[in-house]
Structure 1
Amino acid sequence: MTAGTADELRVIIGAGEQRWAGWIPTQREDLDLLDRESWATWFGGRQADALLCEHVWEHLTEEQGRAAARLCFEFLKPGGFLRCAVPDANFPDADYQRTVQVGGPGPADHPAADHQIVYDFRRFRDVFRSAGFEVELLEYCDEAGRFHYHQWDVTTGPIYRSLLLDHRNREGRLGFVSLILDARKPPC
C-alpha cells in the first residue's frame, strides 16, 4: 500500500471533525452505512480506492456491521481497501472498558451512549471476511490482553486512535488503543 495520488478517491466514513489531507470527509447524511441508496447517489458510477472508518462500526449491531461491510465491498475498486478501527474488547484497562462499553457511561449525549457492540479481533475480522474481504490485523489485543502491532504506514490511511498517533500513547505506555484492520477487496 502506498500513499494516495491526487486522482484516487479516498473517503472517510463518519469523519466527525477528522480531516486528513487527500481524504474526503463524509458524515452519515452523505454516506449512511445502512442505506445503499445514499452510497449509490454519492458515488454515482464511481468506486473508492480506499475507505477510512474510525470508531463508527461499534455504533452498529453486528448484523448491521456485516451489512455495512458488504456495502463497502460493493463500492470499493478491486484491490481497494477499507481501514477500520473500533474499541478493543481485549484491552486490559478497566477505565477504558467502562468508557467503551455497550450503552456507554453517563448521559445520553456521551459518544459511547449508542455503542451496540465491543468487538474482539476474531469477531471483527470475521465481519469483513464474511463480506469477501481479505483481512489483515494491524493493531489489536489478544485474549490475554497482549497488544499486537503489525507495522503499517499511517500515511496510507491515518487512524488517530492508534499506537503511533494518539497522544495518550507516550513513553512506552498504552493509554488508548483501537482494534485496527485493513479489509482489502481482492483484485479481479
Structure 2
Amino acid sequence: MNNEVGDIKIIMSSGEYIPTPSWIHTQTEEPNLLDANTWRTTFDKNSIKAILAEHVKMNLTYEEGIKAAKLCFPYLQPFGYIRCSVPDGYCPDPSYQHTLQTQHFNSQSHTADHYKTLHNYHTLTRMFERAGYEVHLLKYFDEDGVLHQNEWTDTEGVTFCPKKNDRSYARGRIVFPSLIVSAVKPRGNKTNINLV
C-alpha cells in the first residue's frame, strides 16, 4: 500500500463493529493473519499505526497466535500496537464459563463461533512477548477473580466491552467481559524474529 508511515489503522473482526473514522475495517480473512505473502503484498514495513483484533486471536491456536503476531511485527511502526480483546479465562462467573465451554469451545470444527484457545492474562501476555512485543494489560481478571481495569481512549481502538458505559455491563454487572491488552512494538527492537 502506498500510505504514509503511521496513517494505517486496521480493525480485524469477523462480526459487527463500531464504525470508527480513520480506521480500515476488514474481515479476519483479509489479510490472512497467517499468510506472510498477504502481509508483504498488502502493507509496507513500518506503515501500520494500530491493529484492533476484536475476538480474533481465540480463533487461532496458541502457536498460531504467536505466528500471527510475528507476521504483523515488521509492518507495525515503532510503538505501533495490536489492541487485542478475547474472552477472559479467569472470569469467575460460572454462567460465563459455562457459555464458553458449551457454546464456543465444544466443537471440533472450529467455526467462527467456536474458539481454539481460551486465554487468561498470563497466556495472552506470554504469546505476544514471545513475538517480541511489550504488553500492557488494559482489562483482565486475575486468578482470584478480581477485575483489574486501566484507562485508555476509544481513539486508540474501540472495543465492544471496555468500560462501564458499554454493553458488557448490565445493571452494574459484567455480562460478557473481555480480556484486553495492547501489544506494543518497541522502538529499535533487536529481537531476531523468525517468521517461519
Q: Same fold (TM over 0.5)?
A: yes
TM-score (norm 2): 0.83
TM-score (norm 1): 0.86
For structure 1, which segment, 161-170 or 64-73, has the greater mean C-alpha deviation from structure 2 after superposition? 161-170
- The offset of 1:97, in angstroms, is 1.5
Name the amino acid aligned to 2:28.
R
- The offset of 1:33, in angstroms, is 1.0
State the alpha-carbon separation in 2 of the partners of residues 164 and 35 from structure 1: 37
Name the amino acid aligned to 1:14.
S
For structure 1, which segment, 31-40 or 55-64, has the greater mean C-alpha deviation from structure 2 after superposition? 31-40
Q: Is the 8 A contact 2:45 2:76 kept in 1?
A: no
* Structure 1 residues 165 and 155: alpha-carbon distance in aligned structure 2, compared to 1, 3 A threshold: farther
**1:73-92 equivalent positions in 2, closer than 5 A:** 73-92=73-92
Q: Give the gaps of 5 or more residues in structure 2.
A: 1-5, 189-196
**1:112-131 equivalent positions in 2, closer than 5 A:** 112-113=113-114, 115-131=115-131
Please list every run of at least 4 consecutive aligned residues from structure 1 whose deviation after the TM superposition is greater than 6 angstroms. Answer: 105-110
Q: Is the 8 A contact 2:160 2:168 kept in 1?
A: no
**Residue 62 of structure 2 corresponds to residue 37 of structure 1:** no
Q: State the identity %.
A: 37
Number of equivalences: 181
State the alpha-carbon separation in 2 of the partners of residues 36 and 160 from structure 1: 29
Q: Give the gaps of 5 or more residues in structure 1.
A: 1-6
SS in 2 for 1:83: strand
State the alpha-carbon separation in 2 of the partners of residues 25 and 110 from structure 1: 21
- The offset of 1:44, in angstroms, is 4.4
- The offset of 1:94, in angstroms, is 1.9
* Structure 1 residues 111 and 32: alpha-carbon distance in aligned structure 2, compared to 1, 3 A threshold: closer
Residue deviations 1:29-83, cap 9 Å, x none? 3211111111112214562011100101111000100101111212101111110
State the alpha-carbon separation in 2 of the partners of residues 168 and 44 from structure 1: 36
Task: Show the counterpart of 1:13.
Answer: 12
Q: Is the 8 A contact 1:104 1:111 kept in 2?
A: no
Q: Is the 8 A contact 2:59 2:110 kept in 1?
A: no
